[in-house]
Each structure stands twice: as structure tokens, then as C-alpha cells.
Amino acid sequence: MSFESIATETTLLNIMIRFAVNLLVLFILIRFIYYRFTRKEEYVFSLFMMGIIIFLLISLLGTVNIQLGMALGLFAIFAILRFRTVNYTAKDMTYVFTVIGVSIINSQANIPPPVIGALIVNTTILVSAVILELFLKKRALSTMIVNFSKPELLRPERRKQLLEELSAQTGQEIVKISVRKIDVNKGSIELEAFYADKIAD
């Protein structure tokens, strides 16, 4: 069995070999990149299963009478129905798209030279994700909603004191705030606090 046959022939053994490669790439992408930078355990299972199902679905399309466009269209409809009520961020949706793209590439792409072509494409995707995460993480700010009860600190001249108060209250180094809602009757304020999140290992 040659590398070229693995990339071109649709046999059970070849599909399983490509599946193992795809699973390795997904593991690096989801566990060592997505989870490290987001810490969202609830989406890890979904991303893995999505990648696995997409890979197997596309790989087996050659054995049934169905067009690629129709298969992807059906998946898109089911994905929209399933995820439209989930509070996904833009980054989460980008990882969903990346997982789908990687699985499709690994299941169908015959990139010459065999193995080296697939290795270069997958490595490019993974390295791009790491570089963007590291580059944007230094500049991106995480947010949290804070209920505050000291409206007098909202004055511009007491801005520094407000940030120190919020930092002590939340345990994070708050760098800026945005007022979301003020309840004059109850004397409460809803703030959106921005802080630089540390990268966890």
C-alpha cells in the first residue's frame, strides 16, 4: 500500500488511516489550542463529535448516491437548528467552521505530493490558529457583568478609584468599564467590566 493509494482510493483501511490523521489534527486543534485559550469544556465534546461525523460523512459519500453540496447543505440546516439558541461567540463559531473545514480537507483532499501535501495544509491551519491566539490574546480583554452600588464613583475624576474598587471586588485587574444599566430607584448600577485574562497552561 502506497501513500498515493491512501490519498486516492476509497477503501475501509484507507479511510481509517485518514481518520486517525484527522483525529490527531482535531485533538491538537481542540485540546491544545481551543481549550487552552478558552477553557470552555462544554464545547469540547461537540467539536470532537462534529469533526468525526463530518469526516465519516464526507468519506462515505462515494458509496451512496448523494451530492457533496446536498450533504453539506443538510448538515448546515441541522447545525443552524441545533446551535441557533446556543450562546456562541464569534471565536466559537470560527472554531466550528475550522473543525468542519479540517475534517473535509482530510477526508477528500488529494494534495500532491501525498502525505506531505496534507501535512503542510494541516500544519498551516494549526500554526495559524496558535499565532492568532497568541497575538490577539495579548490585546483582547475578557468581560464580566458586575452589579455596583456606589454611583458616586462614576464621576470622571474618580475613575481610578472606581477601577481599584472593581478590581478588589472581582479579583481581576479591571482596566475599563462600560455602564449597561442604572436603576435610580434601587441605587444599583450594572457595569460591564473589562480585564486582561491570563493564559492558562
Q: Over the stretch 162-189, which tens digit does the pLDDT of each residue have?
A: 899 998 988 888 888 888 888 878 778 8
40: left (phi over 0), alpha (psi -120 to 50) or beta: beta
The model carries a pTM of: 0.67
pLDDT of residue 2: 54
- Three-state DSSP at 97 gives helix
Give the C-alpha separation, 34 to 95, whole Å. 8
> Residue 75 has which C-alpha cell?
448538515
Give the C-alpha separation, 192 to 188, whole Å. 13
pLDDT of residue 69: 62
Vertex 162 angle, CA 160 and 166, to 5°: 120
> Residue 49 has which C-alpha cell?
463529535
Top pLDDT among 52 and 135 is at 52
What is the number of other CB atoms lying within 10 angstroms of the CB of residue 147?
11
For the chain, what's the residue count? Answer: 201
pLDDT of residue 52: 93
Vertex 59 angle, CA 125 and 32, to 5°: 30
> Residue 164 has which C-alpha cell?
481599584
Contact predicate 18/6, CB 8 Å: yes
Contact predicate 195/178, CB 8 Å: no
pLDDT in tens, 39-73: 888 889 989 998 998 898 888 775 555 555 655 66
pLDDT at 114 over 80: no
pLDDT of residue 5: 56
Place of cell 483582547: 140
pLDDT at 77 over 70: no
pLDDT in tens, 20-42: 999 999 999 999 999 988 888 88
